[in-house]
Structure 1
Amino acid sequence: MATNPIQQPSTVTAVPHPRPPLPGDLRSLARALASAPAEPRWREHMVGRLGPVRRGFAEHVRLTEGPAGLYAELLYQAPRLDRGVRLLAGEHTAIAAAIAALQHAVRLPSVPAEELREQARNLLRALDRHRQRGADLLWEAYQADLGGED
């Protein structure tokens, strides 16, 4: 069965930055995480790094979900991607909750630094997996429709 090639999603070109802000924010969070928790103001540094991560992730959700988002456009052009899109959209809620929980916990002096570091490592892994799944989904969309022809 032949399908029409998927056109590059128009929402990608609507991003106001040349690259999404999230990856740099994640590197900044990872650097703060790698510093010693015994350093003065370590928790303050963590709080300062989590705000941009939360805002960047909220922007990612805004650009991907909703009637004009990337996911809607992908589903319009390739309904077979429904399962993958639903998986990614479902991860948004869990990741946003993990960011909020870490932001709350890091402000509580009673939460041990090692527990905070573990939460932050889990968050970074979840974000990395989410980004890879999104990239895989896009690859699948374009590879299946554009690749394989000689």
Structure 2
Amino acid sequence: MDARFYQTAETTIDIERLAKDLVDAYYSQGYQAQFLGNGDQLLIQFKKGSDLEALIGLQAALSLTMQRNGRGVLVTVGQQKWIDKAAVGAVSFIIPALWPLAITAGLGAIRQSGLAKQIFALLDTFVRQQYPDVQINPNAVPHF
């Protein structure tokens, strides 16, 4: 599981504003994006690709959670939809006529793995713009 912890010395991070900024940024790139929750914990969902793209393994989707504690905000990436890509790839190897689906499943896996990294990079930028004194630790997960 990918995670980031954002800690500020004096300021409380506005996670609803960060969520809205992420949703707006990815919506403008053709993603379906939404968030729900309250000021202490939010779930943000991203999806790109139609049902047909999901069927052939090209759809990318993930969820992100933001949880506030007294020292900052923990952001984690939820389970990504890897099973659809594996299933499409497996079926394509069993039925030779469907071998091209192995290619689309591979492309979908690449698209999926890059999405979390892209979202974290953009989130890092948004957090630094709004809170220049933030400490970002991509490796440590605080104990609540």
Shorter-chain TM-score bucket reads 0.3 to 0.5
Task: Normalising by structure 2, report the TM-score.
Answer: 0.39
The structure in which a higher percent of residues are strand is 2
Q: Which has the larger radius of gyration?
A: 1
The structure in which a higher percent of residues are helix is 1
